[in-house]
């Protein structure tokens, strides 16, 4: 196959359009079955809290931030796929408040069946994003695999006192989201040929944009907790924050920015399996306003690739932070608030 043939990369992934992660229920079961690791005093953030990256303290002023992400193609254009995979992998370092410095490529590719130029384009897209983020590519590893997969392991640095976890949300905080949702429905729709070029470009641009500017802007404000919205969807990652912070969170559904045509496509059946799994996993911990139908509820759980940052911000900082983000052309919104209750429950209003 040649790069000029219209090879639809997304049709080569055996599962739905989201390059889905193993669901939270299954993953938790596996992790719980492991014998507890000996506690290393330098491991500041490990597996326990479902945070975005692990953090290991080197000395009093520097800690390493480490993360790894890879998935099957979610768009057909190989260069864009590389850009999205890199933006997504780096994002976990930004979510923790770190500065990404180096990256390694993780490659699975059917080298005998697909043109090598396709792989070259994927790698070029990734290195373009790494350059934009100021991250040095230091190597990688590739295997021959009939299903293409791509991602990166990213390392960053952070001051041990400046770590942003998902566990610091305080009652009264305002919740800010920095990218629109609906990516899982739209990438499933790409796979089914339901989007036009402009729509594909729009969702690609959302996924490929770095969370760098948003994360750097957060540095000037009192951000108590932060994570990025990815495979477990907006409500999945919000629930992780609520439970880790031992607070309730209230979400206003109509304030949540959703990409165009997502509701219509979802009504027509383009809801990925991963999104429904997310909903089933967390529905016990979420109370939805009765005016929200099943489609609205699924959209709030929609599996995202390379989503925005979700931050719990001191109420008095929220308005000026939002204004600064908007000034910098970030499509951010205030979507809810944190409440004094230790149940770790989510209430979704209309
Ligand atoms: Co993450
Ligand atoms: Co991740
Ligand atoms: Co190797």
Phi, psi of 333 (to 5 degrees): -150, 150
Residue 18 is among the residues annotated as catalytic for this protein: yes
Kindly give the distance from the C-alpha atom of residue 328 to the centroid of ligand 1, in angstroms, as a whole number.
22
Q: Which residues crowd ion ligand 2, with CB under 5 Å? A: 69, 92
Is residue 50 within 8 A of residue 240, CB to CB? The reply is yes
Q: Which pLDDT does position 330 carry in this prediction?
A: 97
315, exposed or middle or buried, with CB in 10 Å at 0-12, 13-18, 19+? Answer: middle
Rounded CA-CA distance 220/240 in Å is 25
pLDDT for 76 equals: 95
For 75, 168, 300, 340, the CA distances from 140, given in Å and listed in that order, are 22, 34, 35, 45
Tell me which ligand sits closest to the C-alpha of residue 233: 1
Q: How far is the CA of 49 from the centre of ligand 2 (A)?
A: 13
Can you give the pLDDT at residue 21?
66
Ligand number, closest to the Cα atom of 69: 2
Ligand 3 centroid, distance to 104 Cα (angstroms): 10
State in Å: Cα 140 to ligand 3 middle. 7
Centre of ligand 3 to C-alpha 317, Å, is: 46
What domains can you pick out in the chain, each with its CATH number? 3-162 (3.30.1330.10), 174-349 (3.90.650.10)
Mean pLDDT by runs of 10 across the 350 residues of the chain is: 62 59 76 78 87 95 97 96 98 97 98 96 98 98 96 98 95 98 97 96 98 97 97 96 96 98 98 96 97 98 97 97 97 97 94
- Give the closest ligand to the alpha carbon of residue 85: 2
Q: How far apart are the first and last CA of the chain?
A: 49
Q: Distance between CA atoms of 187 and 183, rounded to whole angstroms?
A: 6
User: Which of the residues 18, 20, 226, 301 is marked catalytic?
Assistant: 18
Cα of 85 vs centre of ligand 3, distance in Å, is 19
Among all ligands shown, which has an atom nearest to the Cα of 107?
3
How high is the pLDDT of residue 10? 83
Nearest Cα to Cα of residue 23 among 350, 278, 318:
278
């Amino acid at each position: 196959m040649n790069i000029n043939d219209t090879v639809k990369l997304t049709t080569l992934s055996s599962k739905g359009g989201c390059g889905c992660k193993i669901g939270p229920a299954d993953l938790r079961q596996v992790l719980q079955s492991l014998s507890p690791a000996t506690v290393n005093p330098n491991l500041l953030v490990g597996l326990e809290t479902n945070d975005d990256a692990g953090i290991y303290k080197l000395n009093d002023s520097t800690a390493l931030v480490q993360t790894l992400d890879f998935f099957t193609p979610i768009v057909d254009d190989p260069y864009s796929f590389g850009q999205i995979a890199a933006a997504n992998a780096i994002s976990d370092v930004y979510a923790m408040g770190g500065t990404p410095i180096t990256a390694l490529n993780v490659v699975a590719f059917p080298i005998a069946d697909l043109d090598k130029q396709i792989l070259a384009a994927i790698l070029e897209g990734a290195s373009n994003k790494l350059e934009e983020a100021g991250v040095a590519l230091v190597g990688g590893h590739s295997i021959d695999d009939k299903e293409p997969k791509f991602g990166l392991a990213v390392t960053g640095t952070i001051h041990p006192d400046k770590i942003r976890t998902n566990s610091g949300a305080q009652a009264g905080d305002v919740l800010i989201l920095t990218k629109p949702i609906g990516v899982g429905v739209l990438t499933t729709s790409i796979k089914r040929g339901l989007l036009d070029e402009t729509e594909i470009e729009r969702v690609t641009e959302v996924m490929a944009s770095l969370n760098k500017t948003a994360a750097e802007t957060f540095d000037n404000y009192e951000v108590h907790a932060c994570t990025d919205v990815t495979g477990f969807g907006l409500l999945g990652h919000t629930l992780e924050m609520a439970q880790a912070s031992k607070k309730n969170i209230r979400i206003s559904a109509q304030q949540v920015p959703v990409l165009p045509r997502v509701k219509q496509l979802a009504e027509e059946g383009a809801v990925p399996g991963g999104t429904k799994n997310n909903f089933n996993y967390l529905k016990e911990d979420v109370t939805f306003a009765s005016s929200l139908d099943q489609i609205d509820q699924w959209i709030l759980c929609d599996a995202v690739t390379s989503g925005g940052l979700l931050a719990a911000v001191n109420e008095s900082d929220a308005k000026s932070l939002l204004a600064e983000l908007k000034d910098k052309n970030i499509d951010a919104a205030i979507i809810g608030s944190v409440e004094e209750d230790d149940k770790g429950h989510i209430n979704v209003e209309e």
